[in-house]
Amino acid sequence: DAGVIQSPRHEVTEMGQEVTLRCKPISGHNSLFWYRQTMMRGLELLIYFNNNVPIDDSGMPEDRFSAKMPNASFSTLKIQPSEPRDSAVYFCASKRTGKSYEQYFGPGTRLTVT
């Protein structure tokens, strides 16, 4: 199994630009999660989907952030417009539904907004 795939791995952009992060979950996993990791705030859950449906987006910091999951094998996290404080590592994770299953994390996208 290829694991969770994220792209790009690194993104450098200027303030005000739109940024789109992509995630392909592990085949057969029907829950998908987006997290953000910073030194100051640690690991934070942004949003998660079950069976492609957004369940809880209360962790999305502002309206500038949006996420979609058009099908079981693809999700995007979009920031528009981006700001320097959005600089972080963004992780996507997936799991099978059921309490005995753990989340598997992708390699992350390191975002730098200048």
Partner 1 sequence: ELKVEQNPLFLSMQEGKNYTIYCNYSTTSDRLYWYRQDPGKSLESLFVLLSNGAVKQEGRLMASLDTKARLSTLHITAAVHDLSATYFCAVDIRGGADGLTFGKGTHLIIQP
Strands 5-7 and 53-56: unpaired
Q: Find the helix or strand (DSSP H, E) in which 65 lies.
A: strand 65-71
CB of 22 to partner 1, least distance (A): 16
CB of 81 to partner 1, least distance (A): 26
Closest to partner 1 by CB, 41 vs 85, is 41
CA 87/CA 82 separation, integer angstroms:
9
Backbone angles phi, psi at 84, to 5 degrees: -55, -35
Binding residues for partner 1, rule: CB under 8 A, are 31, 33, 35, 42-45, 48, 50, 55-56, 59, 91, 93, 97-108
Closest to partner 1 by CB, 70 vs 98, is 98
